[in-house]
Amino acid sequence: MTSIELLYNPYTRGKILLVDGGDVQKDECEKLCGAEGTELSEWALHFLNACIEHFNDSISVNFSGIRRDYEFLEDAVKKSKYSSDISLSEKKIVDAENRLQELKNLFAEMQENTPFDSLKSAEVKRLFEKATDSEFEMAVVATMSSGKSTLINSILGRELLPARNEATTANIARIHDIDDTDHFRAESFDKDGNKIGEADPLTAEDMERLNNIDGENPASVVEIYGDIPGIESKNIRLVLSDTPGPNNSRTAEHEKHTMDLLNADYKPMIIYVLNGTQLETNDDNILLSNVARLVKSGDRQSRDRFLFVLNKADEFDPDKNETVARKIDDVKRYLFNKHGIENPRVFPTSAYLAKIIRQSHNNDPMLTAKDKRSLLSDVGYFIEEERMHFSDYADFLSPATFAELKQRIENAKNANDEDELALLYSGVPSIEFAISEYLSKYALPAKITEGVYSFKDKIEALNIEANAKNELAGNEQKVQELQKSLEMIKATLAKGDKAQEVKQQIQSLSVCDRLNKELAKSGSSLLSNFGKNVQSMKKSVHTETARVYLDNIKMMIP
């Protein structure tokens, strides 16, 4: 068996391949793994098959990288025609959740300690913060009468979006997830971006007013701010966008917003709500034709970003052979035969039950007497009837995420918490798990990459290395001063008691080497300021950073 070690950096898309302990040359690596700069999801299957054929042997692949990419490899093993000849194992797997904060901490540390004035500028800081703190929008789309507003209200845990179809879907409502807030507030804007209304705190009655669509200056967008508790969006500014369906878009701008989200480069998640009691409508065809094109683009992210919610699944009549499993199969056949969408992820739900359970827990005044009666009867019904356990159909989540969902169910059973158990069976928490998983797998790595390259591009634009070389030309005295500085740095490095500890700390964040090298090439006064900053650098600059500065200055001195 051929032993292969694969190290993959999703932020720079760099890779290292070792075979039986030896380095693989770049050309051979690209033949096996794909071109430089491509994502692992694009070449995982080719890589496994190519290795088997190239080495004419079974292979043992030991992987280091983030968990998302390890799961891509797991999928590729299952799909490979040589699956029985492939052994996959983890060497060093890290989760992306903490990487963005680590990058922010690193950036702040470099801003504080760098002797290079240009890297402390407000412009560099603004670009970095914009890239790492920008919003990640996620759209909920559907045709009328699908229960889209009920689903969103169930996620919010209260009745905020009006239930009337014409009022709900005619405008765009963008819900910004602001963690640890205890209420919602909102502002409405006309088509020109002028603020025309606000409410703080926001109630359903306020939302009706802000949704004004019939006045002389109708609202176009309503921006809502508050905590979306069921979705884990650590380090991401999530925006849940309730967009008009193609059958109820008041303006070309509204339709464009929906299409822009579908086609955005960063691949936002799209939650497509289907009315389980009324499939295959003509209105669906308009939107699904665009969805199909994107789902079929090939990589796993294109599939994972679309969730198809089969709402009102509790209304199926088993006496008419309308079982959940059969309805899911109907949806899959419809999506494949009509639109060519293969293996869609379909979530059966009862958004209404989830909504009223959460309304009750939040003491929402919009919970009606009818809702309370339904709550009393439906909670027990969902627990007792196994066919209503919609969470069972979310087994296409990653093994870790599905296990977490099942554990929450067990915890609810052990605590005899019937409301929590019925909520989990309603299927809405399964959707929230899928959203959180997507944010962790795709949004966070994307933000880290944006942060790295926003900083890198700005540094390259400064062109400071060339300026520093020009300053040095012909100045022998400067060369001698810098050589003395180099000796001082070497002595500092040699005596650094924590050198190894710092090196390991920096290497644990795979983007740091690249960042530090780019930093080393830049800085408005790299040469003129280096000598006078050596003393302070002994205390404030990490050992690994100093090494990079040292190497960079060596390249400049004749």
**Taking the model in full, what pTM does it have?**
0.69
Beta bridge partners of 198: 187
Banded pLDDT at 167 (limits 50, 70, 90): very low
Banded pLDDT at 511 (limits 50, 70, 90): very low
The whole-chain average pLDDT of the chain stands at: 76
Query: What are the start-end ranges of the E strands in 22-85?
Result: 22-23, 59-66
What is residue 558's predicted lDDT score, i.e. its pLDDT? 44
What is residue 514's predicted lDDT score, i.e. its pLDDT? 46
Edge to edge, the sheet with strand 22-23 lists 22-23, 14-19, 2-9, 59-66, 86-94
Most confident of the ranges 73-82, 411-420, 529-538: 411-420
Distance separating alpha carbons of residues 523 and 467, to the nearest angstrom: 10
For the ranges 155-169, 208-222, 335-349, 501-515, the lowest mean pLDDT is seen at 501-515
Amino acid, res. 505? Q
What is residue 166's predicted lDDT score, i.e. its pLDDT? 45
> ∠29-30-32 over CA atoms, to 5°?
65
Distance separating alpha carbons of residues 418 and 424, to the nearest angstrom: 10
> What average pLDDT does the segment 335-343 reach?
84
What is residue 213's predicted lDDT score, i.e. its pLDDT? 56
For the ranges 85-99, 251-265, 372-386, 539-553, the lowest mean pLDDT is seen at 539-553
What is residue 20's predicted lDDT score, i.e. its pLDDT? 87
User: Phi/psi class of residue 7: alpha, beta or left (left: φ > 0; alpha: ψ in -120 to 50)?
Assistant: beta
> What average pLDDT does the segment 324-353 reach?
90
Residue 204 token pair = 């359903």
Is pLDDT at 21 greater than 50 in this prediction?
yes
What is residue 440's predicted lDDT score, i.e. its pLDDT? 78
> What average pLDDT does the segment 308-333 reach?
90
pLDDT digits (tens, 9 = 90+) for 287-309: 777 777 777 665 666 677 889 99
What is residue 219's predicted lDDT score, i.e. its pLDDT? 80
Contact 228, 175 (CB under 8 A): yes
Banded pLDDT at 418 (limits 50, 70, 90): very high
Banded pLDDT at 336 (limits 50, 70, 90): confident
Most confident of the ranges 11-25, 104-118, 350-364, 434-448: 350-364
Top pLDDT among 159 and 251 is at 159
The number of CA neighbours under 13 Å toward the Cβ of 38 is: 16
For the ranges 153-157, 334-338, 463-467, the lowest mean pLDDT is seen at 463-467
Contact 246, 283 (CB under 8 A): yes
What is residue 280's predicted lDDT score, i.e. its pLDDT? 63
Banded pLDDT at 97 (limits 50, 70, 90): low
> ∠469-470-475 over CA atoms, to 5°?
90
Amino acid, res. 408? R
What is residue 555's predicted lDDT score, i.e. its pLDDT? 41
Amino acid, res. 302? S
Q: What are the CA-CA distances from residue 321 to residues 317, 325, 349 (Å)?
A: 7, 10, 18
DSSP secondary structure letter of residue 299: S
Most confident of the ranges 73-82, 165-174, 433-442: 73-82
What is residue 530's predicted lDDT score, i.e. its pLDDT? 47
What is residue 505's predicted lDDT score, i.e. its pLDDT? 45
Distance separating alpha carbons of residues 50 and 67, to the nearest angstrom: 23
Is pLDDT at 109 greater than 70 in this prediction?
yes
In total, the chain counts a number of residues equal to 558
What is residue 120's predicted lDDT score, i.e. its pLDDT? 72
Peptide linkage before 429 cis (omega within 30 of 0): no
What is residue 253's predicted lDDT score, i.e. its pLDDT? 63
What is residue 141's predicted lDDT score, i.e. its pLDDT? 84
The pair phi, psi for residue 349, each rounded to 5°, is -145, 160
% of residues, the chain, pLDDT over 70: 66
% of residues, the chain, pLDDT over 90: 28
What is residue 341's predicted lDDT score, i.e. its pLDDT? 85
pLDDT digits (tens, 9 = 90+) for 458-496: 555 555 444 544 555 555 665 566 556 555 545 544 544
What is residue 285's predicted lDDT score, i.e. its pLDDT? 67
What is residue 538's predicted lDDT score, i.e. its pLDDT? 45
pLDDT digits (tens, 9 = 90+) for 231-242: 877 667 888 988
Banded pLDDT at 142 (limits 50, 70, 90): confident
> What average pLDDT does the segment 273-277 reach?
79
